Amino acid sequence: MNTQAAETEIQTLIDTYRQAVMAKDVKKVMALYADDIVSFDAIQALQFKGKVAYQAHWEACMEMCPGPHKFDFHQVQISAADDIAFAHWLAYCGGTNEKGEEQACWMRVTACYKRSAGQWKIVHEHWSAPFDPMAGTAIFDLQP
């Protein structure tokens, strides 16, 4: 497979992922992950290992924002080979709380993909916010 075709397939997977999150379809989101996914998500835990642990996290995330989700991806960059790929982008993500207030911020995302039996799966994901070590807090008000 040429790299352009692989990159196109990864972009399609990223688009499917985004749409599934916007639809709050945890089952569809989880179908995109490898069974042995390792995720360094931005909230709640240092890491998640495996689909069972990560699915519980996704379900909790969906409950945190009862209103519509924000999940906009910008500056997506993809590098792919025959059976391995990675991508990174800036994401504006969050949701609407029960009062109708938007609670969202910019995050940094890196994802790694592996093709197995002809199908791409997410094998690693890392979401983060910049950090101020002096204050001991994440910096949520930065703009790209």
Give pLDDT, residue 19. 96
In this structure, of 18-27, 43-52, 64-73, 109-118, the range with the lowest mean pLDDT score is 64-73
Residue 49 corresponds to which amino acid? K
Q: 131 - beta bridge partners? A: 138
Q: What mean pLDDT comes out for the span 125-140? A: 88
Give pLDDT, residue 70. 86
Contacts of 73 (CB under 8 A, 6+ apart): 14, 18, 89, 90, 91, 109
DSSP 134: T
**pLDDT tens-place string over residues 13-53:** 999 999 999 999 999 999 999 999 999 998 888 899 999 99
The pLDDT confidence band at residue 67, using thresholds 50, 70 and 90, is confident
Which candidate, 68, 65, 89, 67, places its Cα nearest to that of 77?
89
Write down all domains in the chain, each with its CATH number in brackets: 3-129 (3.10.450.50)
Q: 77 - beta bridge partners? A: 88
Q: 72 - beta bridge partners? A: 92
* Contact (Cβ atoms closer than 8 angstroms) between residue 36 and residue 50: yes
